[in-house]
């Protein structure tokens, strides 16, 4: 209930204005977001890479409304990729993109072209791109786009969400040689017709998906902070005789950083998803929805306490 309310607020421009103009919560935003500028993202990336972690960078923004905004987002990624390369941070760091930030909702051809340009630039910089997954209304067109991008850039990663009923089948389809699949639970408010509603069902689906990905020939990227699912991931990796370099764990910037380091020190690959930019509102609301206890801290900072 609370999760649905927070996710509904994530789509409200009125609420966004309130939060953005409040003496907000610098601490809350700073916990989850590396900063507003490319330099902030580079600094955070350097720190993580020096600690032996890998990184995927997300320039915040979604639901772009004009071609100019979409092209400006593309330009931010091109600048970022050049800087990552110049500073020797590739291939440890790659980028994550949202097709809605590239105009998918109003011009699919435009967003596909801009995504391809980012993939070209990533290849020039010696790294890869992963295409984030948004709500279920765009699952099919996003997977089509990933398949198209993979023709020229086979290392392009895709994201599958275990809360969707279709995802176990998608995992089986994508678990092929050369494919990189990030498996997450899913962060949007979805109807019962397409998505499991109970946490237990989402978790059970996640386990079936781990199984399909570990059994297959692709490169699984287990994106979760859930200790039980991390244990099950390690168990299935050893069951299917996977070497530590044939899969990775992924976690969000600012969430369970001690666990990120523990896994990395134990010899596993861990990639941290680092968001940056000033369009942090939607991202922040999804993080609050995942852990309503964070809401108390957030409301306190909204009240300036």
Per the annotation, the verdict on 182 as an active-site residue is yes
| Residue 295 main-chain phi, psi, to 5 deg | -60, -35
CB of 157 to ligand FDA, least distance (A): 10
Residue of 132, 170, 203, 211 marked active site? 132
CB of 246 to ligand FDA, least distance (A): 18
CB of 256 to ligand FDA, least distance (A): 6
Q: Which two tokens stand for residue 33?
A: 């977001």
Q: Is 251 helix (H, G, I), strand (E, B) or coil?
A: strand
Q: Work out whether strand 157-161 and strand 180-184 pair parallel, antiparallel, or are unpaired.
A: parallel
Per the annotation, the verdict on 40 as an active-site residue is no
Residues 6+ apart with CB under 8 A from 123: 153
Residue of 74, 150, 182, 236 marked active site? 182
Q: Which two tokens stand for residue 202?
A: 């989402």
Contact between residue 49 and residue 55 where contact means Cβ atoms under 8 Å apart: yes
Residues that bind ligand FDA (CB under 6 A): 132-133, 159, 161, 182, 184-188, 223-226, 250-252, 255-256, 273, 287, 290-291, 294
Residues 6+ apart with CB under 8 A from 198: none
Cα–Cα dist 163/86, whole Å: 39
Q: Is the peptide bond before 91 cis (omega within 30 degrees of 0)?
A: yes
CB of 241 to ligand FDA, least distance (A): 25
Of all residues in the shown chain, the one whose CB is closest to ligand FDA is: 225
Burial group, residue 16, by CB count within 10 angstroms (0-12, 13-18, 19+) = middle
Positions marked catalytic? 132, 182
């Amino acid at each position: 209930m609370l999760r649905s309310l927070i996710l509904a607020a994530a789509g409200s421009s009125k609420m966004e204005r309130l939060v953005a103009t409040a003496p907000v919560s610098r601490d809350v935003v700073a916990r989850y977001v590396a900063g507003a500028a490319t330099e902030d993202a580079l600094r955070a990336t350097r720190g993580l890479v020096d600690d032996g972690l890998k990184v995927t960078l997300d320039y915040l923004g979604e639901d772009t409304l004009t071609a100019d905004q979409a092209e400006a987002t593309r330009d931010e990624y091109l600048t970022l990729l050049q800087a990552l390369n110049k500073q020797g941070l590739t291939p440890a760091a790659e980028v994550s993109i949202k097709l809605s930030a590239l105009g998918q909702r109003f011009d699919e051809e435009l967003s596909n072209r801009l995504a391809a340009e980012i993939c070209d630039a990533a290849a020039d910089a010696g790294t890869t791109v992963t295409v984030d997954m948004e709500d279920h209304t765009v699952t099919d067109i996003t997977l089509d786009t990933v398949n198209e991008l993979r023709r020229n850039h086979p290392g392009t990663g895709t994201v599958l969400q275990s809360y969707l009923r279709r995802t176990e089948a998608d995992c089986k389809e994508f678990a092929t040689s050369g494919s990189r699949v990030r498996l997450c639970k899913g962060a949007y408010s979805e109807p019962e017709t397409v998505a499991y509603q109970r946490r237990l069902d989402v978790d059970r689906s996640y386990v079936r998906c781990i199984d399909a990905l570990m059994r297959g020939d692709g490169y699984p990227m287990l994106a979760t902070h859930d200790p039980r699912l991390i244990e099950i991931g390690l168990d299935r990796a050893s069951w299917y005789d996977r070497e530590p370099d044939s899969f990775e764990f992924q976690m969000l910037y600012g969430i369970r950083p001690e666990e990120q380091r523990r896994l990395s020190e134990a010899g596993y690959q861990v990639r941290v998803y680092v968001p940056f930019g000033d369009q942090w509102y939607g991202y922040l609301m999804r993080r609050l929805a995942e852990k309503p206890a964070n809401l108390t801290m957030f409301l306190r900072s909204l009240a300036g306490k």
